Structure 1
Amino acid sequence: MTRKAFIEKALKASMGLPLFSSFLLESCNRYDLEFPVLPMGFQGKVLVVGAGAAGLAAGHLLQRSGIDFEIIEAAPVWGGRMKKAVGFADFPIDLGAEWIHTHPDILSDILNSPGMDMDTKIDFIAYSPKTTQTWNNGRLRNHNYISKLYSEWKFKHTTWFGFFEAYIVPGIESRITLNTPISEVDYSSDRVQLKTTDGRIFEADKVLFTVPVKILQNELISFVPPLPVSKTKAINQVAVGDGIKIFVEFQSRFYPDMLSFGPILKAFRKEEKFVYDAAFGKDSDKNILGLFAINEAAAAYTQLGTESAIIGEFLNELDEIFSGQASAGYVKHIIQNWSAEPYIQGAYSYDFEEKQWRVVEAIQEPVADRLFFAGEALSIDHQATVHGACESAFEAMSRMLAAGQ
């Protein structure tokens, strides 16, 4: 079930969900992510393309299993859609993935450390906004009852990026090659050859692709022979729109914990745009307002082109809502335009043109028993989440090595 479908189901049950929320019930309950035991006997090499959450989780599993591997990342930094900004405020800013979307114990599952008490190592915020408003037809309305319907978790002093930075990357950093875009994949022989944009060649027995769906849709990587038509069709049936996050520091606070746009039920159902107090629960004395937007709501900003135009549009919007207080109290800002990132090119998987399970199964299907695929879009139950990306990587690695070399 997609996030969008779950939200619609929840709304019909009159539960209500906030924007950017995942599964309301899971935010309070324990969800187990199975760290697989890989089959013994594989003597070959695995290449993982992409060093986002799925690629790093795959590397962590391979390292723990003693399998030879290398992670190839196109960008100059690892993390994918996990990214943090340090120094903007008195706490790290999540420029990408931010909410945990399930119980924090999921972090132990990702690490395969069931005895590790994450509460003693990482501080979490029980995230339940107390003041919620909507802006609709030129009118600001209060909906504070949402606080009784919604609660989940966030990091207090770190970020998703910080979690991977502290607990996963140190063990596999020597296996990560950055600044290495892959342009062509030749799997016509027993060993797969990956050619980079600068002409280098990497070889492996099996390859796991964890690049964002947009990269495959826009054919930044070519395949020899071409991927099966059924797979390319499925890849193009995943809806991924624009994505942007903006953070602004103000001299004083004039905004609620959360602000959505349009009729409240429609806004919650689409979950495409909201403004929120980014310092909520952070023990911060800074007034930091965040904007999260995807799809058409994000395109309204990303298509403006320049940073000055984007922040100008956002401040004008806030001035209209809050009677000029935004421009009057503006201090500084930071913008993360995910659509402009050359190896990301958008937000995350939002919906599917056909049945989700059918599209996901078609993309997951191995090609020539050598090419495999994982990522946030390929988790049936936890699509569009960090732990869903990790789950898909674990499943793909189990499938890849089930038959040995």
Structure 2
Amino acid sequence: MTDSTTAQTSLHVIVVGAGAAGISAARSLQDTGCRVTILEARDRIGGRVQTAYDLAPHPVELGAEYIHGANVVTWDMVRQFNLTTVSDVTKDDFHIYFGDRIHSGDEKSRIPSFHLVDTYEDIAIDWVEQGRPDASVHDVVTKWAELNNADLSPDLQRLVNSRVSVREGGDWARLGVHGMYEQNDNPGGNFRIKEGYTALLEQAVAGLNVTLNTPVQSILWSQDGVQIHSTTGQIFAADRALVTLPLGVLQAQDVRFTPSLPPEKQAAINGLGAGHVDKIAMRFRERFWPQDMAGILTTLQSQIWWRPGWRRDDEAPLLMAIIGGDAALHFESLGADAVPEALDHLSAMFGENACKHFEAGRFISWGTDRWSKTGYSYGLVKGAGLRDQLAQPVDDILFFAGEATHVTHSGTVHGAIESGARAAHEILKPEKLKADI
């Protein structure tokens, strides 16, 4: 018999990526006695969590924005680190830009078939539960509108797609209803961390061994362990590797695996959608939008705008656009012209005061960021079941975590955190079985 603690302490695990999933896994592994090394390509931790402290008196999220739900795992960390939160908007706090004019939250019911903006998910769920084959959200909603004589005008289609592509990560013409059906919503609303999401991860990573500025180039693996080569020329050896690379990086094959990943693993990587979801932060000298407008859903390619300082006493006059799908690709193609076009959109909605009071803008392109190449993942048509396939270990040597591997909570920080904890458990489980023999 071998003492299980000794067996686990002798295990060395390299975690590739210091985002929420990697930090979560590393913490679990180290707390159990493993030796853990995190390799991070960036010059900072956090991955697609990045808080700016230079845009306003308050933190501004350039990446992940919210805690989604009142009872998700992120709250354990919020309480542990004595952080504070502020609740986000309700649907009634959002205005709508439709038909070349702004409608308040109270007026949106006057927009023909506006309910489809909120009920597209229910329509998709009904489709799946009726046993129908996988199809795009666009096709399912269009079919429903035809059968129910709903007015699905071009403007309304743009409005629905703005909501879908930002919320789900991909355009409704590519988003599969079966993959969307796998997802679970978390009741209780959305919340921002007052100190910033980065503050949470900086406390979570304290005491962990993180090597920054170390992009992984290749991973050689066998039953003897792993050898990881970085672009800096360094070589790292360990017993196991946990890969938390974003789906877009895996799809681009920026990291070479030797031997190659099994066909079913590569099929899962290629069969999911790496959603382009970007942000544009716009700072002004003073507020020119209605005081009761927490955000605005639009038919424009800038899609959705909200106030990062909503319900804060120190709120700055700042608007943030969040843009997904083909609209994100459009802004990515503009380069330096992305901010001017976003300002044009604000001028179209609010008039000359947008330009008059404009101070500065920042385009945050997660889709073209070399270390992410995606905002968050989404399920393509016929992509149901692939997240679980992506999450599976390879020969108990290579393990996988990250938001794209979470079947029910992809595209969220709490999903990434949970995936890291799940992967840590998978790494430790074989070792415990060996120790008990």
Residue 298, structure 1, aligned to residue 265, structure 2: no
Aligned twin of 1:107: 74
Deviation of the 1:318 alpha carbon = 0.8
Deviation of the 1:273 alpha carbon = 3.4
Q: Which moved more, 1:134-143 or 1:317-326?
A: 134-143
Residue by residue over 1:322-372, the C-alpha shift from the partner in whole angstroms, topping out at 9 and shown as x without a partner, is: 12221111122233221232111121012234353x202211221121001
Residue by residue over 1:180-226, the C-alpha shift from the partner in whole angstroms, topping out at 9 and shown as x without a partner, is: 11111111351211111233211111110001011110000111111
Residue 159, structure 1, aligned to residue 193, structure 2: no
The aligned amino acid for 1:368 is D
Q: Distance in 1 between matches of 2:35 and 2:193?
A: 36
Residue by residue over 1:22-48, the C-alpha shift from the partner in whole angstroms, topping out at 9 and shown as x without a partner, is: xxxxxxxxxxxxxxxxx7432220000
Residue 333, structure 1, aligned to residue 361, structure 2: yes
Aligned twin of 1:258: 295
SS at match of 1:234: helix
Residue 194, structure 1, aligned to residue 156, structure 2: no
SS at match of 1:339: coil
Q: Distance in 1 between matches of 2:387 and 2:368?
A: 26
- Which consecutive unaligned segments of at least 5 residues does structure 1 have? 1-38
Match of 1:140 among 97, 102, 126: 102
Deviation of the 1:398 alpha carbon = 0.8
Q: Distance in 2 between matches of 1:156 and 1:203?
A: 37
SS at match of 2:356: helix
Residue by residue over 1:88-142, the C-alpha shift from the partner in whole angstroms, topping out at 9 and shown as x without a partner, is: 211011111111001267335358xxxx577xx2221122345322222323222
Residue 400, structure 1, aligned to residue 427, structure 2: yes
- Which consecutive unaligned segments of at least 5 residues does structure 2 have? 109-117, 119-186
Q: Return closer, same or farther for 1:207/1:347 CA change in 2, 3 Å cut-off.
A: same
Residue 184, structure 1, aligned to residue 218, structure 2: yes
Greater helix share, 1 or 2? 2
Report 1:270-309 matches (<5 A): 273-306=303-336, 309=337
Q: Return closer, same or farther for 1:201/1:240 CA change in 2, 3 Å cut-off.
A: same
Match of 1:371 among 382, 394, 398: 398
Residue by residue over 1:294-333, the C-alpha shift from the partner in whole angstroms, topping out at 9 and shown as x without a partner, is: 2212112111022xx1110000111111122211111222
Q: Distance in 2 between matches of 1:388 and 1:360?
A: 12
Match of 2:64 among 97, 100, 109: 97
CA contact (8 A) 2:72 2:414 kept: no
CA contact (8 A) 2:69 2:188 kept: no
Residue 386, structure 1, aligned to residue 413, structure 2: yes
The aligned amino acid for 1:131 is D
Q: Distance in 2 between matches of 1:153 and 1:224?
A: 42
Identity of aligned residues (%): 29
The aligned amino acid for 2:349 is I
Aligned twin of 2:180: none
Instruction: Tell me how many residue pairs correspond in the alignment.
Output: 346
Report 1:18-57 matches (<5 A): 40=5, 41-42=7-8, 43-57=10-24
CA contact (8 A) 2:67 2:74 kept: no
Q: Distance in 1 between matches of 2:96 and 2:372?
A: 30
Q: Distance in 2 between matches of 1:70 and 1:273?
A: 40
Q: Return closer, same or farther for 1:400/1:87 CA change in 2, 3 Å cut-off.
A: same
Q: Distance in 1 between matches of 2:366 and 2:67?
A: 20
SS at match of 1:304: helix
The aligned amino acid for 1:246 is I
Q: Return closer, same or farther for 1:143/1:151 CA change in 2, 3 Å cut-off.
A: farther
Q: Distance in 2 between matches of 1:388 and 1:212?
A: 13
State TM-score, norm by structure 1.
Answer: 0.80
Aligned-residue CA RMSD (Å): 2.3
CA contact (8 A) 1:156 1:281 kept: no
Name the structure, 1 or 2, with higher relative contact order (CA <8 Å, separation 6+).
2
